[in-house]
Amino acid sequence: MRDAYKSRWLYVPRSDRLKFSSSIYIISIAVLFQYFIFEKLPDVIYTLLDFLVRGAELLDFDFDPDEMGYIVINLTAIFTTLISCAATGVFIVLCLKKFGPRTDVLRSKDSVSYRFRLPKNTPALLLAGVCIMELSTFAYMFINILLDRLFHISPVPTSGAYSYFPQSVLGVVLYFLSLVAVPALAEEFVCRYVMLNALKKYGNTFAIAATSLFFGFMHARASAFIYATAMGVFLAYIAIKTKSVWFSVILHALVNFISFVFQYLSSLPFLYEESVDLLYLMFSALMFLCCAVYLFVLVARKKNCRKLDAPADYIRILPAQKLFYFFNAATIIFFVLTILKSFEQYRVR
């Protein structure tokens, strides 16, 4: 076993081996750390906010108990997302500077930055991103049908707490922040800014695959894993191509905003559930049609998708070596925990 390990790294300099292994272990531990923050922190924040909101006269609005409870839940989601993503990003950067390679993690020659740059044909690429999300959603539905037919396993129906839409202005604003704005900014900071910059020196393909898979598992839900992973690939590719994180932020927010709109439509008393489903199918069909037209125009103009250029500070690590260090103990524990959590969404009939 030791000889096999040595043969993997026979032609890799010791300094490069140290840079790669330290980066992988630090990121894996950070993602596992974020998982526990998401699991444990909401209870603490919810208890504190519930005490402050219900006890303070300043926040004593004329809300019914359900609306006030939903406001507290959304505030909890906002704080949890901000704290966990900020802690994860800072942990990765500080640890890489302390224990990793002596290079600036976020400011290499061609790193992804916060400079406002958008790709050419941004509206068409946003449309393509929405289509990827829609296709992933249909793939998830198809998998559920197969599980039901073959093994009699079906998703647990959504509870009323998750289908409720706030009725007050404050509740709607907080829900918009917790669903649309805050996740787009915080999650893109961790995945497409910190993690992508830390890994892209070992190859763009590896960085895209690793961050996308982590992004999918970070959602810890079977319903979100497929579209989050697929969207992660698309977002990481555009981020590396444009050397900017802003397209990822905009598309991420747009995808979540579509969910926000359809949840609002579902809450309207004059729209039946079947009507909302029909509107969603019509919306999906329109997106697919527009995307098909765009692809047809690209083919007609013979515009091919260019390959990504190699990173300026590229460090050559063989694929077998990348896989060997990618599946370390922290990553495996993280994958197992999120898979077990996803199983909670299913039941045997």
Report the distance separating Cα 207 and Cα 198, nearest Å. Answer: 8
Tokens (6 digits) for 42: 């909401």
Average pLDDT of the residues of the chain: 80
Write the CA distances from 57 to 72, 116, 330, integer angstroms. Answer: 15, 42, 46
- What is the predicted pLDDT for the residue at 182? 95
Domain membership of residue 9 (yes or no) is no
Over the stretch 206-240, which tens digit does the pLDDT of each residue have? Answer: 999 999 988 988 887 777 788 889 899 999 999 99
Kindly tell me if the per-residue pLDDT of 1 is higher than 60: no
Over the stretch 91-124, which tens digit does the pLDDT of each residue have? Answer: 998 888 777 655 555 666 678 888 898 988 888 8
Do 226 and 139 meet the contact criterion of CB atoms below 8 Å apart?
yes
Domain membership of residue 5 (yes or no) is no
DSSP, collapsed to helix, strand or coil, labels residue 245 as: coil
Mean pLDDT of 50-64: 57
Annotate 92-117 with DSSP letters as a single string.
HHHHHHHHS-SS-SS-STT--BSS--
Nearest Cα to 232, choosing from 254, 252, 246? 252
Cα R_g (the chain), whole angstroms: 22
Report the distance separating Cα 142 and Cα 103, nearest Å. Answer: 46
249 or 63, greater pLDDT? 249
Tokens (6 digits) for 189: 């900071």
Q: Could you tell me the pLDDT band of residue 166, with boundaries at 50, 70 and 90?
A: confident
119 or 326, greater pLDDT? 119
Report the distance separating Cα 163 and Cα 174, nearest Å. Answer: 16
Main-chain dihedrals φ then ψ at residue 113, nearest 5 degrees: -125, 180
Q: Could you tell me the pLDDT band of residue 63, with boundaries at 50, 70 and 90?
A: low
Burial 199-237 (b: 16+ CB within 10 A, else e): bbbbbbebbbbbbbbbbbbbbbebbbbbbbbbbbbbbbb
- What is the predicted pLDDT for the residue at 294? 75
- What is the predicted pLDDT for the residue at 244? 92
Q: Could you tell me the pLDDT band of residue 247, with boundaries at 50, 70 and 90?
A: very high
Q: Could you tell me the pLDDT band of residue 56, with boundaries at 50, 70 and 90?
A: low
Domain membership of residue 205 (yes or no) is yes
Tokens (6 digits) for 232: 């992660």
Domain membership of residue 223 (yes or no) is yes
Domain membership of residue 286 (yes or no) is yes
Over the stretch 253-307, which tens digit does the pLDDT of each residue have? Answer: 999 999 899 888 888 877 777 788 788 888 888 888 887 777 777 666 665 556 7
DSSP, collapsed to helix, strand or coil, labels residue 327 as: coil
Q: Could you tell me the pLDDT band of residue 163, with boundaries at 50, 70 and 90?
A: low
Mean pLDDT of 310-335: 80
Enclosing domain of residue 316: 14-348
Report the distance separating Cα 41 and Cα 52, nearest Å. Answer: 17
Tokens (6 digits) for 16: 């490069």
- What is the predicted pLDDT for the residue at 302? 60
Domain membership of residue 230 (yes or no) is yes
DSSP state of 272: -
76 or 108, greater pLDDT? 76
Residue with tokens 């260019």: 306
Number of domains in the chain: 1
Domain membership of residue 89 (yes or no) is yes
Kindly tell me if the per-residue pLDDT of 66 is higher than 80: no
Domain membership of residue 8 (yes or no) is no
Kindly tell me if the per-residue pLDDT of 130 is higher than 70: yes
Report the distance separating Cα 259 and Cα 31, nearest Å. Answer: 26
Helix axes 122-151, 246-267, angle to 10 degrees: 60
Q: How much of the chain, in percent, has pLDDT values that exceed 90? A: 20
Kindly tell me if the per-residue pLDDT of 53 is higher than 90: no
Report the distance separating Cα 223 and Cα 101, nearest Å. Answer: 37
- What is the predicted pLDDT for the residue at 5? 46
